[in-house]
Structure 1
Amino acid sequence: MTHILAIDQGTTSTRAIIFGADMTPVATAQEEFPQHFPQSGWVEHDPSDLWSTTAATCRAVIEKAGLGADDIAAIGITNQRETTLVWDRKTGQPIHNAIVWQDRRTAQICRDLAEHAETVTAKTGLLLDPYFSATKVKWILDHVDGSRDRARRGELAFGTVDSWLIWKLTGGHAHVTDATNASRTMLYDIHKGRWSSTIATLLDIPMEMLPEVKDSAADFGTARSDLFGRPIPILGVAGDQQAATLGQACFKPGMLKSTYGTGCFALLNTGDTPVASTSRLLTTIAYQIDGKPTYALEGSIFIAGAVVQWLRDGLKMIREAQETQPLAESSDVDQPVILVPAFTGLGAPYWNADCRGAIYGLSRNTGPAELARAALESVGYQTRDLLDAMRADWKSEAGEASLRVDGGMSASDYAMQFLADIIDAPVDRPVVLETTALGAAWLAGQRAGLYPDQAGFAAKWALDRTFAPAMDSVDRGRKYQQWQRAVQATLTYAGAD
């Protein structure tokens, strides 16, 4: 058994990747699935889509790699975080669609609980925001008749996507999660390493419905034999951004990565110390191994690659994401168009749930090329917001290392060069861009005894290209000031102070 099966369950698609004994990808299978938008600001998934695409891609990738189940030593899982599911323990049927991390329907619940915000942050490291799982669970229990009583009787299970997939993979024998996913629910005390009864009581969420929390590398159960031909152990689990931190080998305090998928997420390793942010960043668990948590500061951007999807699916301006780069390169640089992609609110460091997107600087000559450039550059501007906040919170180390990038959007040379220019720091893109899946694979592989320890893994990290900053400091300052004015105008329009 010399291979690892990594499941990467994301917001718009599910991927399964086989990694060999040398930790390089052997084969990949991917399936997209639809998102559902019942109302403005609401985002849902059909839980059956999450499972069916997972099962299908796992079977497909094993066949594509020319392997059998006997060749797979273990399964690692990484997943979209905060997305919330509640299901019947007996039947395995969800009682509501999955409420996605982008969903903003619980903004009023958060406003009603504003007096408890400091308690929530002190215990969980998170801000009181609709982004996280806790208020989504409360909303489901509030709106599905009889569900709270059923939860108290132990009939219902809550889980993030990892828990749901493990439940399905094990045939309902394991109701578990790992510390990284637990730390994103707004129900987990990251200092004590356990669910917070204080917050659960505040939100009227029965503790009986919460999963068991394990290390990121642990025995999470066994995938049933009828799925793949033999039982396969599940030995690694981490939320997607934490898995990418592992995949980028950011094991030392001060190391920094940013992943560009549907959203953008920057994590700064702060070691065994949870750093309380004064800049509205999140304090979270980067990974937990052998019972010891490693912490991180995180900045979350809701819309990154999704802004390119909007150009494609919403405006029908492009057919493929790759078309944005030649469009941006052909744009009129004398048209300073700024796009603030607050389609589902603004994330860190602004945290405004009511904001919506805006475009500034339009002229009669503005066309697809200028909009493509503005879309790609919006990701760089938002990343600069996050890094400036991190430097304010962790002054001595946060600015010392280069930024390691990954995710689909990092393949755009234009976007990555602009990122280096606007943050005035080197941007390192690795050979393996699928670092999220690689991180999950490494967790499972090292637990199975197939992959090396942290030092050995870090030594194998390979650089594809470094993007060095080349923008004049005056231009950099002028452009970033334009962005800041656009954000403030958008916040003002939304009614924010």
Structure 2
Amino acid sequence: MTKSFVCAVDVGTGSARAGILDARGNLLARADHPIAMHQPKPDHAEHDSEDIWSAVCKSVRSALEKSGVAAGDIAGISFDATCSLVARDRQGGQISVSVTGERRWDTVVWLDHRAIAEADECTASGHAVLDYIGGVMSPEMATPKLMWLKRHLLQTWNEAGYLFDLADFLTWKASGSLARSQCTLTAKWTYLAHEEESWRR
């Protein structure tokens, strides 16, 4: 039998959602599972990436069961997620992005605004990459979040081996591949894919 179904996964602020679709894009079934959020102080919001992955797996299994489609008939899986930053150590283990130091809180959520000062600093620079993001750096993007980690959680910065956009983290968990999405890098990490020097200092 031809594999003619796909699984689409979306991770939002409060849940992971999965859908099983046929080759024409008809949604056969969907399921969701909640994810935890930690807010240790104002403007700080953190996820546990292993909790997210568990929610993804539960959602996919549930959607598959509801659809009646066999796992072997799924041709591919895709991931979409919020603009959240996942930090992992050099062995791929969890590493804290939290002022509490708890390693499970390894993801800076998109709505976290701890890096407002860093975002304003980026905007004030007038750098050419700003031309591709509306002229203003948002604290929800990766660059100010990374700057904040380096300035305020130096131990985490020094131990970090992998820094992922959440969508790229999910593809890594699913496949083991460290390949990054050109879409996530361009939209959230100031990567200029159309230029010879795609990463700007």
User: Do they fold alike, i.e. is TM over 0.5?
Assistant: yes
- Asked if structure 1 preserves the Cα contact closer than 8 Å seen for 2:79 and 2:167, the reply is yes
Structure 2 letter corresponding to 1:85:
V
The match for 1:164 is 169
- Rounded Cα–Cα distance in structure 2 between residues aligned with 1:16 and 1:193: 37
Instruction: Say whether the 8 Å CA contact 1:43–1:102 is kept in structure 2.
Output: yes
Secondary structure of 2:180's aligned partner: strand
Is 2:8–2:18's contact at 8 Å kept on the other side of the alignment?
yes
Residues 78 and 91 from structure 1, CA distance in 2 versus in 1: closer, same or farther, beyond 3 angstroms?
A: closer
Q: Does the alignment pair 1:177 with 2:186?
A: no
1:188 maps to 2:197: no
2:185 is matched by which residue type in structure 1?
A
Query: How high is the sequence identity, in percent, across the aligned residues?
Result: 25
Q: Determine if the alignment matches structure 1 residue 136 to structure 2 residue 145.
A: yes
What residue in structure 1 maps to residue 112 of structure 2?
103
CA distance in 1, matches of 2:56, 2:25: 21
Equivalent positions of 1:389-468 (< 5 A) are none
Check conservation: 1:126, 1:186, Cα contact below 8 A.
no
Letter in 1 for 2:178: H
How far apart are the structure 2 equivalents of 1:112 and 1:57?
40
- Larger Rg belongs to: 1
What code does the residue aligned with 1:84 have? L
Cα distance in 1 between the residues matched to 2:164 and 2:28? 31
Give the TM-score of the pair, scaled to structure 2. 0.83
State the structure with bigger RCO (CA 8 A, min sep 6), 1 or 2: 2
Give 2:71's aligned residue. 69
Q: Which residue of 2 aligns with 1:451?
A: none
Match of 1:493 in 2: none
Is 1:119 matched with 2:120? no
Gaps of 5+ in 2: 98-105
Quote how far apart the aligned CAs of 1:107 are: 0.9
After TM superposition, give the deviation of residue 76 of structure 1 in Å. 1.5
1:50, 1:34 → 2: CA distance?
8
One-letter code aligned to 2:44: W
Q: Report Cα offsets for 1:400-446 as digits up to 9, x if no partner.
A: xxxxxxxxxxxxxxxxxxxxxxxxxxxxxxxxxxxxxxxxxxxxxxx
Change (3 A) 1:193 1:73: farther
Q: Give the Cα–Cα distance (whole angstroms) in 2 for the partners of residues 79 and 194 of structure 1.
A: 27
User: Does 2:95 match 1:90?
Assistant: no
| Offset, 1:50 | 1.2
Give the Cα separation in 2 of the matches to 1:91 and 1:13.
Answer: 23
Query: In the alignment, is the contact (CA less than 8 A) between 1:125 and 1:190 conserved in 2?
Result: no
CA–CA separation in structure 2 for the residues paired with 1:17 and 1:72 = 12
The number of residue pairs the alignment matches comes to: 191
1:13–1:30 Cα contact (<8 Å) kept: yes
Matches of 1:126 and 1:7, distance apart in 2: 31
Pairwise mapping of residues 90-489 of structure 1 onto structure 2 (< 5 A)? 90-96=91-97, 97-122=106-131, 127-151=136-160, 156-170=161-175, 173-192=176-195, 195-198=198-201
For residues 84 and 193 of structure 1, do their structure 2 counterparts lie closer, same or farther at Cα, with a shift above 3 Å needed?
A: farther
Question: How far off is 1:191 after superposition?
Answer: 3.8
- Asked if the contact 1:123/1:190 (under 8 Å) is kept, the reply is no
Shift of 1:39: 1.9
Paired residues of 1:86 and 1:137 also in contact (CA < 8 A): no
Q: Which amino acid aligns with 1:179?
A: Q
Unaligned stretches of 5+ residues in structure 1:
199-497
Superposed displacement of residue 92, structure 1: 3.0
When normalised by structure 1's length, the TM-score is 0.36
Relative to structure 1, is the Cα distance of residues 14 and 196 closer, same or farther in structure 2, using a 3 angstrom cutoff? same
In structure 1, what is the equivalent of residue 102 of structure 2?
none
